[in-house]
Amino acid sequence: MSAGTTQKRKGRGGDAPRIEDVAKRAGVSPMTVSRVINGASHVRQAARDAVNEAIAALNYAPNRAARSLAGGGQVRLGLLYSNPSAAYLSEFLVGSLDQASRSDVQLVVEKCDRGEGEETSARHLIKSGIDGILLPPPLCDSQPLIDLLAAENVTAVAVATARLADGISTVSIDDFAAAETMTRHIIAQGHRRIGFIIGNPDQTASARRLEGYKAALAEAAIAVDEALIRQGLFTYRSGLEASEALLDLPQPPTAIFASNDDMAAAAVAVAHRRGLDVPGDVSVCGFDDTALATAIWPELTTVRQPIAAMSRAAIEMLVAEVNARRQGKTPEPRRLVLDFTLVERESDGQLGA
């Protein structure tokens, strides 16, 4: 599926409508809008009709004409994805599609399976004449995939990886500092038995978040209790299993910090199923601040990772590197670190309050 769009006609107020405006009006995802625009067959007729109606109402005009760039020709970028979190992927796609439109580049979005499927999909994109590839998590940490792109001399940008030296540009936040900040916040509320649900062990950000959690405990002279640390996979189901194990402990935690919002939402569900009040009996905090964080009750206190902004920045970096190569230059890999924010809502509170 490809999406190369540029808006020419103006919407109300003089602003050109964007792909997410069409998606919102039609009640579908930006990916579905892109599929309709590109004539994909696997779209329900009701959704197709809603998208076409929104396009007409907003005067949204996709333009596939190539823009003259230094070095010649339109830039074609690939986005490989296999993220299990629909909430994370949705925000990532919104940012990517929007920036591709603004930069007047064609974005080819392709799902792949982990393992050999990653390399198969990457080779397919390379064979199609792609100029660069965007690697969101968890593919940002796939060494075989990164090695393949290097061997094929394909420009790539990895998003949300904690790797420092892979020869490719990266966009991320400081996962260690973010987890440390959240853990300090929980400690400041009087909690000392703080459960932690680790993210997928295949992703470097998971280890950095665990390290940040442990660093904050050490700073507060709280001993690390390994029983309070459970493995997750960044999926809702893994969050359910980890939370059940934590709350089954003879001395369960008074707070649970999960490495993403999907797992934190699962922790809230487990607490409710056991008749526990959140945050009265147990505080729950997440990470990412996806749409899920405000779709559950109580709304999650979480670390806001600027997912859409990270994907936009990655597209900009890719375009710049592709054009530099077209001019015969060899761009040095860049490491861009964006700010995170601790967002306080209703899922955590003072111990005993």
pLDDT for 75 beyond 60? yes
The confidence score (pLDDT) of residue 336 equals 95
Taking phi first (over 0 means left), then psi (-120 to 50 degrees means alpha), and beta for anything else, what does residue 330 get? beta
pLDDT band at 15 (very low <50, low <70, confident <90, very high): low
Q: Quote the mean pLDDT of the chain.
A: 88
Give the lowest-confidence range in 32-36, 54-58, 107-111: 32-36
Q: Are residues 13 and 152 in the same domain?
A: yes
The confidence score (pLDDT) of residue 62 equals 59
The tokens describing 88, both together, are: 């994370």
SS3 78: strand
pLDDT band at 70 (very low <50, low <70, confident <90, very high): very low
- Domain residues for 91? 2-172+308-337
CA distances to 185, 195, 286, 347 from 350, rounded to whole Å, are 10, 16, 17, 11
Please report, for the domain that includes residue 241, its CATH number.
3.40.50.2300
pLDDT for 68 beyond 50? no
pLDDT band at 40 (very low <50, low <70, confident <90, very high): low
Q: Are residues 297 and 313 in the same domain?
A: no
Q: Are residues 48 and 66 in the same domain?
A: yes
- Work out the end-to-end distance of the chain between its first and last CA atoms, rounded to an integer number of angstroms: 52
pLDDT for 12 beyond 50? no
Q: Are residues 222 and 90 in the same domain?
A: no
Q: Are residues 179 and 217 in the same domain?
A: yes
Count CA atoms within 13 Å of residue 264 on its CB side: 34
The confidence score (pLDDT) of residue 52 equals 82
Q: 259 in a domain, yes or no?
A: yes
Our count of domains for the chain comes to 2
Q: 325 in a domain, yes or no?
A: yes
Find, among 77, 67, 136, the residue nearest to 107 by Cα: 77
